[in-house]
């Protein structure tokens, strides 16, 4: 099935001649990307577009810039200064709008606040904030002064936060006291305090007062004399474990955001960064128990995200772009925050969940705020599909001009529902394939090409991809193989933080001379790519990446558990769900209670996104002779599929 949406705007798009533009772009990628980079501002131009020393690519070498220079500074002396940069809608429906000028002032104030605490270029800052304007302001402020942010999704547990703070050796943590999440209140500061319990190196915690003195949290107060964080109705879990020894460290470490920024100037100069300097670290799950810190740079990253958003979503000056992700994931970094601002448009953020206060909220917001471009995940579409067409049909969604999808393969049924009901069979869906590591869209349609529901179309301009076997040879058409990228791209990650070995092993040594994505795919007779999912031990739950090993170690940390193996199973809404096979220690009696305890344990260790759907107590697990659990065998058995080659199986 080939769908050609009839939208007039898109018929005029310059991307109409995809094949020719693509051919030109890969004939000389350096000229191609160099020309795009010149559309942005640089303090100093580069000497070399690309320095490729396998497996490291360095883009715009010798150039100096700063993402914030292009996201904010460049607009201040133009008409864009008074345009809305950010519309934020809270869970209770009130909104806040920031023009570019106002956003810049907030960013400067917070940047100056960070500086007043001694934060310098290169320092690491962990941002653990919910979907509130301060989350974006903090990110921009870090980059502005050359500090490196590591945003941790607010749904992660204290334990997951702790690991990420420690790996990055963060000097400052920015968080909120608590925040509303549907009908619940999440007490996020408690997680931070727990995460920092044994931390000797952090210097400050900056706390946004998202909720005024709720009873749950107790009323937080900063004692000005000692600058200490005090609780008036102290719930027990808030008390320092050992007040005497903690006193020194507690002193003046906790600061309210509003008190810090109040006294700050609204002007702050933007740090001049080398194009290849680190802008941020973002942790993502891999195949070992430890998440990887993916590093992105200022120069190439901004060029890649600027141009992909502009092209794929056909960006026009009056666009209001809504990506429903959270800035805690790469989608949020690239396409909620940086790319929309670099393109000078309005970005839209809704604090709440897709079903709060009711399941029509997204459609209501699109109608009310006249969203023009809407970017979401298949899991959300599948969840909303369950409520039928009525809730969508009630709303006038005519402001929409392009739709997008990301995070996991979109099944044709969900694609068509999205196209018919949200896209009124007229506007195209951009199914964008990319990763935390790639930073930008890699395989994606561009406006006005023919679409096949469920296919991510073909590689974007300047990107060379293929589907190969384990030797690196192209597989025949319509045969499944490994998705690889053959040449560097500008938003390519710099490295894995503190772990260059892992960078090489995971991405560049499985198949030589190419980037190994970890996904399987097929290419059809028209050259369209069909992404089939991960080929490593990464599970995609509602589009979020979770490593099997990470989940298993959460199970095994329970003293009653001897061993665990975790697999992903197809799930109607979530894409994949988590099933765990658990061997209990000798003498432990299996029970439903114990299952509940284990579910809770995993939630505590990783976060609610990692909640296992099924736990099965077993006596044995299939292993290789060297003792490695063969998850592939478990999965095949579970799904009733052929088990495949088991010659290495021990028993
Ligand atoms: C993995 C990367 C990139 C932003 C969100 C996820 C899967 C992503 C698609 C798509 C099929 C997709 C892949 C990829 N994925 N987009 N359009 N079609 N699969 O970022 O957490 O780094 O995950 O998400 O499996 O490897 P991430």
CATH number at residue 493: 3.40.50.12780
Residue 447 shares a structural domain with residue 346? yes
Instruction: Choose between 535 and 648: higher pLDDT.
Output: 535
In this prediction, residue 10 carries a pLDDT of 62
How far is ligand 1, taken at its centre, from the CA of residue 408, in Å?
Answer: 5
Q: Which ligand 1 atom minimizes the distance to the CA of 531?
A: 11
Q: Are 151 and 328 in contact (CB under 8 A)?
A: yes
Q: Are 221 and 231 in contact (CB under 8 A)?
A: yes
In this prediction, residue 1 carries a pLDDT of 79
Tell me: pLDDT of 231 over 70. Answer: no
Residue 427 shares a structural domain with residue 379? yes
Residue 485 shares a structural domain with residue 549? no
How far is ligand 1, taken at its centre, from the CA of residue 495, in Å?
Answer: 19
Q: What percent of the chain has pLDDT over 70?
A: 93
In this prediction, residue 16 carries a pLDDT of 78
Residue 569: φ, ψ to 5°: -120, 145
pLDDT band at 341 (very low <50, low <70, confident <90, very high): very high
Q: Tell me which of 296, 403, 404, 408 to substitute to probe ligand 1's pocket, judged by most ligand atoms within 8 Å of the beta carbon.
A: 408
pLDDT band at 289 (very low <50, low <70, confident <90, very high): confident
Q: What percent of the chain has pLDDT over 90?
A: 88
Specify whether the backbone of 359 is left (phi greater than 0), alpha (psi in -120 to 50) or beta: alpha
Tally the domains of the chain. Answer: 3
Residue 520 shares a structural domain with residue 555? no
In this prediction, residue 218 carries a pLDDT of 38
In tens, the pLDDT along 431-469 reads 999 999 999 999 999 998 999 999 999 999 999 999 999
Residue 296 shares a structural domain with residue 407? yes
Q: Which ligand 1 atom minimizes the distance to the CA of 443?
A: 17
For residue 25, what are the contacts with CB-CB under 8 A and spacing of at least 6?
32, 461, 462
Residue 478 shares a structural domain with residue 346? yes
In this prediction, residue 6 carries a pLDDT of 64
| Cis check: omega of the bond before 71, within 30 degrees of 0 | no
Tell me: pLDDT of 372 over 50. Answer: yes
Q: Residue 301: which domain range?
A: 18-66+273-534
Q: Which ligand 1 atom minimizes the distance to the CA of 431?
A: 17
**Residue of the CA atom closest to atom 18 of ligand 1:** 409
Token pair 């128990």: residue: 289
In tens, the pLDDT along 67-116 reads 999 999 999 999 999 999 999 999 999 999 999 999 999 999 999 999 99
Q: Give a yes or no: residue 354 inside a domain.
A: yes
**Residue of the CA atom closest to atom 5 of ligand 1:** 407
In this prediction, residue 247 carries a pLDDT of 37
Q: Are 187 and 198 in contact (CB under 8 A)?
A: no
How far is ligand 1, taken at its centre, from the CA of residue 278, in Å?
Answer: 23
Tell me: pLDDT of 217 over 70. Answer: no
Q: Which ligand 1 atom minimizes the distance to the CA of 285?
A: 21
For residue 200, what are the contacts with CB-CB under 8 A and spacing of at least 6?
249
Q: Give a yes or no: residue 386 inside a domain.
A: yes
Q: Tell me which of 434, 467, 493 to substitute to probe ligand 1's pocket, judged by most ligand atoms within 8 Å of the beta carbon.
A: 434
Q: Tell me which of 295, 407, 418 to substitute to probe ligand 1's pocket, judged by most ligand atoms within 8 Å of the beta carbon.
A: 407
Tell me: pLDDT of 323 over 90. Answer: yes
Residue 588 shares a structural domain with residue 516? no
| Cis check: omega of the bond before 49, within 30 degrees of 0 | no
Instruction: Choose between 245 and 481: higher pLDDT.
Output: 481
Q: Write the CATH number for 551.
A: 3.30.300.30
**For the chain, what is the mean pLDDT?**
92
pLDDT band at 213 (very low <50, low <70, confident <90, very high): low
Residue 178 shares a structural domain with residue 104? yes
In this prediction, residue 14 carries a pLDDT of 74
Please say which residue of 499, 534, 569 terminates a domain: 534
Q: Which ligand 1 atom minimizes the distance to the CA of 325?
A: 5
How far is ligand 1, taken at its centre, from the CA of residue 531, in Å?
Answer: 9
Q: Which two tokens stand for residue 100?
A: 């570019």
Q: Give a yes or no: residue 1 inside a domain.
A: no
Tell me: pLDDT of 527 over 80. Answer: yes
How far is ligand 1, taken at its centre, from the CA of residue 529, in Å?
Answer: 14
User: How much is the average pLDDT of 2-8?
Assistant: 72
Q: Which ligand 1 atom minimizes the distance to the CA of 434?
A: 3
In tens, the pLDDT along 157-197 reads 999 999 999 999 999 999 999 999 999 999 999 999 999 99
In this prediction, residue 523 carries a pLDDT of 98
Tell me: pLDDT of 26 over 70. Answer: yes
Please say which residue of 534, 567, 593 terminates a domain: 534
Q: Tell me which of 435, 467, 534, 568 to substitute to probe ligand 1's pocket, judged by most ligand atoms within 8 Å of the beta carbon.
A: 435
In this prediction, residue 216 carries a pLDDT of 39
Q: Which two tokens stand for residue 586?
A: 């000798």
Residue 436 shares a structural domain with residue 331? yes
How far is ligand 1, taken at its centre, from the CA of residue 435, in Å?
Answer: 5
Q: Give a yes or no: residue 77 inside a domain.
A: no
How far is ligand 1, taken at its centre, from the CA of residue 118, in Å?
Answer: 37
Q: Which ligand 1 atom minimizes the distance to the CA of 456?
A: 17
Alpha-carbon Rg for the chain, nearest whole angstrom, is 24
User: How much is the average pLDDT of 33-59?
Assistant: 98
Please say which residue of 534, 553, 588 terminates a domain: 534
Q: Write the CATH number for 138.
A: 3.40.50.980
How far is ligand 1, taken at its centre, from the CA of residue 406, in Å?
Answer: 6
In this prediction, residue 215 carries a pLDDT of 38
Tell me: pLDDT of 621 over 90. Answer: yes
**11: helix, strand or coil:** helix
**Residue of the CA atom closest to atom 19 of ligand 1:** 408
Q: Ligand 1 pocket: which residues have CB below 6 Å?
A: 284, 330-331, 406-409, 431-436, 456, 517-519, 531, 534, 540, 545
What is the three-state SS of 554-617?
HHHCCCCEEEEEEEEEEECCCEEEEEEEEEECCCCCCCHHHHHHHHHHHHHHCCHHHCCCEEEE
Residue 611 shares a structural domain with residue 505? no
In this prediction, residue 249 carries a pLDDT of 40
**Residue of the CA atom closest to atom 1 of ligand 1:** 435
Q: Give a yes or no: residue 600 inside a domain.
A: yes
Q: Are 427 and 398 in contact (CB under 8 A)?
A: no
530 pairs with which residues across the strands? 522
How far is ligand 1, taken at its centre, from the CA of residue 121, in Å?
Answer: 31
Q: Which ligand 1 atom minimizes the distance to the CA of 432?
A: 17
How far is ligand 1, taken at its centre, from the CA of residue 441, in Å?
Answer: 10
pLDDT band at 646 (very low <50, low <70, confident <90, very high): confident
Residue 140 shares a structural domain with residue 116? yes
Residue 136 shares a structural domain with residue 208? yes
CA-CA-CA-CA torsion sign (254, 600, 290, 505): negative
Q: Give a yes or no: residue 76 inside a domain.
A: no
In this prediction, residue 91 carries a pLDDT of 96
What is the three-state SS of 619-645?
CCCCEECCCCECHHHHHHHHHCCCCCC
User: How much is the average pLDDT of 567-586?
Assistant: 97
pLDDT band at 649 (very low <50, low <70, confident <90, very high): confident
Q: Which ligand 1 atom minimizes the distance to the CA of 410?
A: 18
How far is ligand 1, taken at its centre, from the CA of residue 382, in Å?
Answer: 17
How far is ligand 1, taken at its centre, from the CA of residue 14, in Å?
Answer: 27
Q: Give a yes or no: residue 61 inside a domain.
A: yes
Q: Give a yes or no: residue 13 inside a domain.
A: no
Q: How far apart are CA 629 and CA 33, in angstroms?
A: 44
């Amino acid at each position: 099935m080939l769908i050609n949406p009839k939208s007039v705007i898109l018929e005029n798009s310059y991307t109409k001649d995809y094949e020719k533009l693509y051919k030109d772009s890969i004939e000389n990628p350096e000229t191609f990307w160099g020309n795009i980079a010149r559309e942005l501002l640089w303090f100093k131009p580069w000497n070399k577009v690309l320095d490729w020393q396998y497996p490291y690519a360095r883009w715009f070498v010798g150039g100096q810039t700063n993402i914030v220079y292009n996201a904010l500074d460049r607009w201040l002396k133009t008409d864009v200064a008074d345009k809305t940069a950010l519309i934020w809608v809270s869970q209770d429906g009130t909104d806040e709008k920031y023009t570019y000028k106002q956003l810049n002032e907030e960013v400067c104030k917070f940047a100056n606040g960070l500086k007043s605490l001694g934060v310098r270029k290169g320092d690491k800052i962990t941002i653990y904030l919910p979907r509130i304007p301060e989350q974006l302001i903090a990110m921009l402020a870090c980059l502005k002064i050359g500090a490196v942010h590591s945003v941790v999704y607010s749904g992660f547990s204290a334990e997951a936060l702790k690991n990420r703070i420690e790996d990055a050796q963060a000097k400052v943590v920015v968080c909120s006291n608590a925040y509303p999440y549907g009908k619940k209140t999440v007490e996020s500061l408690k997680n931070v305090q727990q995460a920092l319990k044994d931390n000797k190196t952090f210097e400050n915690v900056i706390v946004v007062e998202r909720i005024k003195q709720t009873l749950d949290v107790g009323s937080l107060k900063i004692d000005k004399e000692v600058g200490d964080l005090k609780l008036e109705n102290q719930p027990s879990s808030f008390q320092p474990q050992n007040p005497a020894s903690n006193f020194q460290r507690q002193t003046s470490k906790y600061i309210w955001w509003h008190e810090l920024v109040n006294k700050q100037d609204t002007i702050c100069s933007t740090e001049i960064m080398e194009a290849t300097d680190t802008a941020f670290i973002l942790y993502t799950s891999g195949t070992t128990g430890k998440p990887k810190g993916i590093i992105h740079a200022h120069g190439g990253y901004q060029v890649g995200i600027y141009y992909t958003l502009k092209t794929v979503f056909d960006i026009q000056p009056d666009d209001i772009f809504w990506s429903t992700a959270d800035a805690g994931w790469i989608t949020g970094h690239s396409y909620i925050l940086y790319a929309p601002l670099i393109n000078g448009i309005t970005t839209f953020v809704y604090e709440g969940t897709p079903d709060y206060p009711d399941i029509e909220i997204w459609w209501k917001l699109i109608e009310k705020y006249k969203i023009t471009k809407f970017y979401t995940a298949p899991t959300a579409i599948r969840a909303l599909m369950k409520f039928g067409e009525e809730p969508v049909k009630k709303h006038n969604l005519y402001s929409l001009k392009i739709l997008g999808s990301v995070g996991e393969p979109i099944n044709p049924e969900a694609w068509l529902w999205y196209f018919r009901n949200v896209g009124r069979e007229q506007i195209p869906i951009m199914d964008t394939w990319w990763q935390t590591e790639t930073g930008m869209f890699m395989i994606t349609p561009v406006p006005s090409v023919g679409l096949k529901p469920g296919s991510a179309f073909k590689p974007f301009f300047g990107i060379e991809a293929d589907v190969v076997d384990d030797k690196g040879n192209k597989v025949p058409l319509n045969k499944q193989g490994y998705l690889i990228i053959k040449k560097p791209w500008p938003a390519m990650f710099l490295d894995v933080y503190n772990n260059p070995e892992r960078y090489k092993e995971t991405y560049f040594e499985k198949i030589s001379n190419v980037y190994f994505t970890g996904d399987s795919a097929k290419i059809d007779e028209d050259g369209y790519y069909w992404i089939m999912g991960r080929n490593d031990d990464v599970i995609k739950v509602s589009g979020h990446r979770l490593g099997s090993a990470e989940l298993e170690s959460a199970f095994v940390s329970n003293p009653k558990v001897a061993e665990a193996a975790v697999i992903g199973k197809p799930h109607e809404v979530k894409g994949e769900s988590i099933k765990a096979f658990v061997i209990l220690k000798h003498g432990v009696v299996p029970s439903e209670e114990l299952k509940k305890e284990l579910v809770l344990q995993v939630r505590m260790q990783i976060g609610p996104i990692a909640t296992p759907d099924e736990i099965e107590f077993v006596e044995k697990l299939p292993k290789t002779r060297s003792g490695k659990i063969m998850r592939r065998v478990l999965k095949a058995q579970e799904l009733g599929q052929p088990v495949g080659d088991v010659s290495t199986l021990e028993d």
